[in-house]
Amino acid sequence: MIAAVELALLEQLRNPAFGYSYRVLETFPDDLDAYLKNVGNLRTPAAWSSWLDFPNGDDAGDETGWCPTARFVLAVATQNQRNEQDARHGDGALPGSYQLVEDAIRALSGNWLEPLDLVEPVRIISARPTVRTPQMEAQRLSVVALTLQCRVALGSFETALGEFRTFHADWDVPAFGNVAAPLPSAQHDAEDQVELPYD
């Protein structure tokens, strides 16, 4: 469920009503500054999402299992070679980071991220500009981070687990496509079926 929400948040930014298209929609890299250094010249608008934590939750003891509040971060970024103000405000031709964050808030606030089965929809908790790193400055990036939350049901194992005899996995391989929310894809690229021998 965590991965599905991360990807669904990004998917909501593929919105024709924005009047612009994101060029990068990815989950958050381990080290953003190292990522930017490796990319060299990031194509913007760009956005990254990541799970933060489960700060609290309830367990009614039924099949829905533990229903935590799940917090996520969504960072949006744009650049402008003129100056930092144009990166934040936009220049008439390219959106600024303020426009990106306002549009993201409009698209995500109250969103149920269908077809996911959320207990409560997305709520916006906060938005703030990030501290500019050396790579952000070098690429003239303006990055704003949103903190969001929704409530999810993690489910429970209703009955005792049987003996583990069969493993099946469908694989969506980036090089072959089909790697976009919702996952798993209806048309997988590869599959594994492992049957364990009986005693």
- Domain positions in the chain are 2-151, 166-195
Reported pTM: 0.75
What are the angstrom distances between the C-alpha of 139 and each of 57, 84, 124, 162, 163?
A: 40, 10, 28, 55, 55
Could you please state the CATH topology (level 3) that the domain comprising 2-151 is classified under: STM4215-like (3.30.2000)
User: Running DSSP on this structure, what letter comes out for residue 183?
Assistant: S
Contact 23, 45 (CB under 8 A): yes
The CA-based dihedral angle spanning residues 35, 40, 42, 47, taken in that order and rounded to the nearest 10 degrees: 0
C-alpha to C-alpha distance for 6 and 146, rounded to whole angstroms: 13
3-state secondary structure of 84: helix
Among residues 14, 27, 137, 128, the alpha carbon closest in space to that of 79 is found at 137
Both tokens of residue 6?
């991360």
Mean pLDDT in the chain?
A: 85
Higher pLDDT, 24 or 157: 24
Q: What are phi and psi of 94, to 5 degrees?
A: -115, 140
The residues, ordered by sequence, that sit 6+ positions from 136 with a Cβ below 8 Å of its Cβ are: 33, 36, 130, 142, 143
**Tens of pLDDT along 110-167?**
999 999 999 999 999 999 999 888 888 888 888 999 999 999 999 887 655 567 778 8
What are the angstrom distances between the C-alpha of 118 and each of 68, 76, 112, 146, 155?
A: 11, 24, 6, 19, 12
pLDDT grade, residue 15 (50/70/90)?
very high
